[in-house]
Chain A
Amino acid sequence: MFAPFMINAWITASVVGVVSAVVGFFIAVRGQAFLAHALPNGAFAGAAMASLVNINPLLGLGIFSVFGAGIIAFLEKKLKKDTATALGFVLLLAIGALLLSLTTEYSQQIFALLFGEILGVSSTELLPTVILALVTLGLISFAYRPLLYSSVLEEVAFSKKVSPDIYNIVFLLIVALVTTMAIPVVGTLLIFTLLVAPAATARLISKTPKTALWFSVGLSLIIVYLSIAMAYWSNWPIGFFIGTLGVASYVAGKLYQKVTS
Chain B
Amino acid sequence: MNILHDIVEPGFFSSSVIDTALVIGCLTAIVSAVAGTFTVLRSQSFIGHALSDIGATGGAAAYLVGVPTIYGFVAINLAIGVFLDALGINNKKERDIVTGVVLGASLGLTALFLYLDTTNTSGSGDTMNLLFGSILTIQPSLINVFIVLSALSIALLIVYYRQLLLSSIDTDLLQAKRRSPKAASLVFLLALALAVSMSAIAIGAILSTALLVGPATAATRLAKDMKSTFIYASLIGGVSIFLGLLLSYDSYTWPPYHHGWPVSFFVVAVIFIIYLLTLLKPEAKTRYKAGQV
Contact = CB atoms under 8 A, between A and B. Distances in A.
Given A90-B268, A97-B262, A243 B49 contact: no
Contact of A239 (B99, B108, B214): B108
Interface string B51-65: 000000000000000
Interface string B34-72: 000000100111101110000000000000000000000
A114 B156 CA distance: 35
Contact of A101 (B49, B50, B106, B259): B259
Interface string B269-281: 1011001000100
A189 B106 CA distance: 10
Interface in B251-285: 256, 259-262, 264-265, 267-269, 271-272, 275, 279
A241 to B, nearest CB: 7
Nearest to B93: A31
Contacts of B264: 93-94, 97
A107 B124 contact: yes
Contacts, number: 177
Interface stretch (B158-166, B194-202, B205-213): B205-213
A61 interface: no
Interface centre among A80, A196, A242, A244 (most CB of B within 10 A): A80
Contacts of B96: 31-34, 82
Contacts of B217: 79, 83, 87
Interface residues of B, number: 59
B125 A87 contact: no
B11 interface: no
A34 B292 CA distance: 19
A80 B293 contact: yes
Contacts of B140: none
B97 interface: yes
Nearest to A88: B272
Contacts of B259: 101-102
Interface of A: 28, 30-34, 36-37, 78-83, 85-87, 89-91, 93-95, 97-98, 101-102, 107-108, 110-111, 114-115, 158, 161, 189, 192-193, 196-197, 200, 236-237, 239-244, 246-247, 250
Among all A-B residue pairs, the 6 with the closest Cβ atoms:
A243-B108, A31-B93, A33-B100, A94-B268, A193-B104, A86-B45
Interface of B: 40, 43-46, 48-50, 92-94, 96-109, 111-112, 115, 124-125, 127-128, 131-132, 206, 209-210, 212-214, 217, 256, 259-262, 264-265, 267-269, 271-272, 275, 279, 290-293
